[in-house]
Amino acid sequence: MDDKHTFTLVLFFLLTVGIVAVFLYAYLSSLPSSSAKGGLTNPKKKRFLLFFILMEAVIILFTLTLPRSPYFFFANSTPSKVVFVAARQFSFAMSYQTIAPDTQAPAKAIELPRGKPVEFRVTSFDVNHGFAIYDMSGNLIAQTQAMPGYINRLRWVFDSPGEYNILCLEYCGMAHAFMRTSFNVK
Amino acid sequence: MATLQLKKLTSVWIITILVLFVLAIVFGILMRFNQGNAIHLSPVGFYSMMTIHGLTMIGIWFVAGMAAVNFLLQRYIKVSAGINVFALVLTVIGVVMLWLVTFVGEFHTGWTFLYPLPFRGAWKEWATPLFLLALGVLGIGWFVWSAGMLFQIFRKYRPAQAFAWQHLRKGSPEIETPPFILISTVTLIGIITCLVAAVLLLVLYFAEYFSSGSFVNDALLMKNLTFFFGHTLANEMLYLGLASLYELFPEVSGRPKFKMTWYVALAWNCTMVFILTAFFHHMYMDFVQPFAFQVIGQMASYFASVPAAAVTAFSVLAVVIKNPIRWSLTNTLFFVGVTGWLIGGVGAVIDATISNNFVLHNTLWVPAHFHTYNAIGNVLFSLAFFNWAANEFGGKGHTDKFTRLKMTLLIIGGSGFVIMFYIGGAYSVPRRFNVYPQEFSSLSILASAGALFACLYLAVIVWFLVNTVNKCLKVFSAA
């Protein structure tokens, strides 16, 4: 698990613990039904505080995360390599040249440079597929969709050399789990 | 006051839903065991099961919410029993068609049936048109049902009153809109809207099917329409469950009814608007989608969920904290359901953030969060209604035996089941893989562990089913 995924999981579990703690407290603080009335003190103030914190958190989350969206990655750089990707049930074709729908892509191994932006131009010749790049440790590091009639451009810089795997992450039929390929970064 | 006819109808809905729920859970468990290499299903068998599991779960919890709202609406307005029967008959016909399509026709597109997969799969030729027809049958039944209820609401409340807009102004309004009416109205509007999108989707599918190749749809448009319909419907079914909560939770807890306030009105009006564009988050990884839609998707995902969740959670907590509460299975299910819904909501908001979605989309994080807010969220809202209704129909008061034991087992089973998904998602394990490739083989144990926890959850559901069905059947002998 890489740092980003670890952070996400830890954040999720911390927030979960917080929610469970509040609800557990509420449950344990409730009184037998025969008791005299108690209740939350200052509910309006607490409600305002909850809303204020939540709305602030949402706005901060939105502002901080939007610029980190993949659409902006290396948008102002010129890719050092362009790789054309054509997905079809149940294989990927990858080439440095465009791939025609009715031809087989050359079975040439793809090698990409380390530390320089590369661009994947991803499409599909039949149904929707996913184009997900996994590093050598099995972490999902980048992805886009392969959609018939459209080309999704994914830009990325690979920091480490090695063999990266591509898995299809959009369900595409009975052999979906076996649809994969790989490329090398040197 | 509910008529005997409505009680009988609601009982039929409850029994049908619980039986289908048990079967759909069994399919889910089999799929997880298959991913854990404990059993070996054929790929077609696995994906047919996956398809019917998703369709059944969405369908039954949608109609569960509708049946509950229909029953409770009777307290405020008269709802046509004929429309309820019509919806029931069409739902049963639609479900039978879908099961036929998947298990005999081997149709296995997943519940999302993303275009053009229905035209490009290894299944019987008749399966695709019958599948689309089944959706049409369900759509007609549900549209008429929703429109019928909405029409009756608008006969009693002017639209502005049904939306509780008078509560957004200063001062005490002359007519108070019950929260149940507001949430039902907002939800029924959303349902009708997404069913209209479903009609358009089906028309486009049939146009291509009958065109013999002369007409081809646009994949991006079809994907947007599919998720506008599918995502919105899945969200609305949650809100149907919440409508029951607003109506019943204080009542069964022995507390005063929830009153309409400006912030409840505002939160649910926000939800009505934003929920219609939150579905864009399904297209984050389609980089060709207009950028504005991606931004709207993230913003709407936050603002459709956070205000309504905060208002509901605060209202429920304010009822419970340091107050005398008559705890029963019904309000405990509601209470735990709100907790599960919020936790699943946190998982959903994380995934609905584009920069996270980049490394979580279509991993196990997705089934993790939606199983959380369904299996230990929305489902519990509907089970709470079922329990309350069954006690009304044939129980001896609103006290249930073994409430703590049932809830403890349900929480352990449900939580263990979803935790395995979250860990899998954080380890980048793909969703919808019938078997895991070499690099994830060490994580397949998570799938089997998840299945074992789900067995515990299933055991409680079967226990609940037996108790509930026994009580519901008394309505028929009472006649």
pLDDT tens-digit series, residues A5-26: 999 999 999 999 999 999 999 9
Instruction: Report percent pLDDT > 70 for chain B.
Output: 99
A148 vs B: CB within 8 A? yes
Residue A83's DSSP bridge partners are A120
CB neighbour list of residue A60: distance below 8 Å, 6 or more residues apart: none
Q: Answer whether B426 sits within 8 Å of A1, measured CB to CB.
A: yes
For residue A2, pLDDT over 90 is answered with no
Whether residues B356 and A8 touch (CB distance < 8 A) is answered with yes
A37, A143, A177 ranked by CB distance to B285: nearest = A143
CB spacing of B120 vs A128 below 8 angstroms: no
B47 touches chain A (CB under 8 A): yes
pLDDT at B318 over 70: yes
Q: For the segment B133-163, what is each residue's pLDDT rounded down to a tens digit?
A: 999 999 999 999 999 999 999 999 999 999 9
Q: Could you name the CATH architecture of A77-185?
A: Sandwich (2.60)
Say yes or no to pLDDT of A58 above 80: yes
Mean pLDDT of all residues in A49-78 = 92
User: Closest partner residue to A126 among B120, B288, B363, by Cβ?
Assistant: B120
- What total number of domains does chain B contain? 1
- pTM equals 0.94
Taking only residues 385 to 414 of chain B, the set having a beta carbon closer than 8 angstroms to any beta carbon of chain A reads none
Asked if residue A37 has pLDDT above 80, the reply is no
Residue of B41, B312, B316, B362 to mutate, testing the A interface (most A Cβ within 10 Å of its Cβ): B362
CA–CA min distance A113, chain B (Å): 22
Q: Tokens in use for A3? A: 């740092």
Using one digit for the tens of pLDDT, what is the confidence trace for B48-92? 999 999 999 999 999 999 999 999 999 999 989 999 999 999 999
Lowest mean pLDDT among A47-56, A67-76, A104-113, B98-107: A104-113
Write out residues 61-100 of A within 8 Å (CB-CB) of B: 61-62, 65-66, 68-71, 89
With CA atoms as reference, report the closest residue to B311 among A73, A51, A20: A51
Query: Would you list the DSSP string of B101-165?
Result: IIIIS---S-TT--TTGGGSSSS-TTHHHHHHHHHHHHHHHHHHHHHHHHHHHHHHS-HHHHTTG
Domain boundaries, chain A: 39-68, 77-185
On whether the CB atoms of residues B70 and B478 are closer than 8 A, the answer is no
CB–CB contact A31 B323 (8 Å)? yes
pLDDT digits 0-9 by tens, A111-161: 999 999 999 999 999 999 999 999 999 999 999 999 999 999 999 999 999
Whether the CA torsion B327, B328, B334, B340 is positive or negative: it is positive
- Cβ under 8 Å to A: B residues 74-93: none
Residue A106's pLDDT is what? 66
CB-based contact B310 A54, cutoff 8 Å: yes
- Of residues B401 and A167, the one with the higher pLDDT is A167
Of B109, B320, B343, the CB nearest to A26: B320
A79: closest CA of chain B, how far (Å): 17
Least confident of A34-38, B330-334, B375-379, B382-386: A34-38
CATH of the domain at B13: 1.20.210.10
Domain range enclosing B431: 4-478
Q: Rounded to whole angstroms, how far apart are CA atoms B342 and A86?
A: 40
Quick one: DSSP state of residue A97? S
pLDDT at A105: 65
Residue from A13, A170, A178, A179 whose CB has the most chain B CBs within 10 Å, to mutate: A170
* Interface probe, candidates B208, B222, B251, B285, chain A, greatest A C-beta count within 10 A: B285
- Residues 193 to 222 of B: which have CB under 8 A from any A CB? 218-220
pLDDT band with cut points at 50, 70 and 90 for residue B1: low
The pLDDT > 90 percentage for chain B reads 88
Please calculate the CA angle A53-A54-A59 and round it to the nearest 5 degrees: 100
Contacts of B117 in chain A (CB under 8 A): 127-128, 171-173
For B219, name the nearest residue in chain A, comparing CA atoms only. Answer: A148
Q: What is the pLDDT of residue B394?
A: 84
For residue B303, pLDDT over 60 is answered with: yes
Say if residues A94 and A110 touch (Cβ distance below 8 Å). yes
For residues B187-212, average pLDDT: 95
CA dist., res. B474 & res. B455, Å (int): 29
pLDDT at residue A31 in the model:
87
Cβ neighbours around B19 below 10 Å, total: 13
Q: B38 vs chain A: nearest CA distance in angstroms? A: 18
* Chain CA centroid to CA B186, Å: 16
Sign of torsion over alpha carbons A129, A135, A140, A141: negative
Contacts of A153 in chain B (CB under 8 A): 287
Q: Which long-range contacts (CB under 8 A, 24 or more apart) does B153-157 make?
A: B153/B73, B153/B77, B153/B181, B153/B184, B153/B185, B153/B188, B155/B77, B156/B76, B156/B77, B157/B181, B157/B185
Q: Mark out the alpha helices in chain A (DSSP H runs).
A: 3-29, 43-65
- Say whether pLDDT at B479 is over 70: no
Q: Report residue A142: phi and psi, to 5°.
A: -165, 155
CB of B244 closer than 8 Å to CB of B389: no
By the CB < 8 Å criterion, does B356 face chain A? Answer: yes
Q: How confident is the model at residue B409 (pLDDT cuts 50, 70, 90)?
A: very high
What confidence score (pLDDT) does residue B395 get?
67
A175: how many CB neighbours lie within 10 A of its CB? Answer: 14
User: How far does B333 lie from chain A, in Å, by closest CA?
Assistant: 12
**For residue B437, which residues of chain A lie inside 8 Å, CB to CB?**
167, 177-178, 180
Nearest to B323 among A39, A55, A70 (CB): A39
A143, A180, A181, A182: best to mutate for the B interface, most B CBs within 10 A? A143
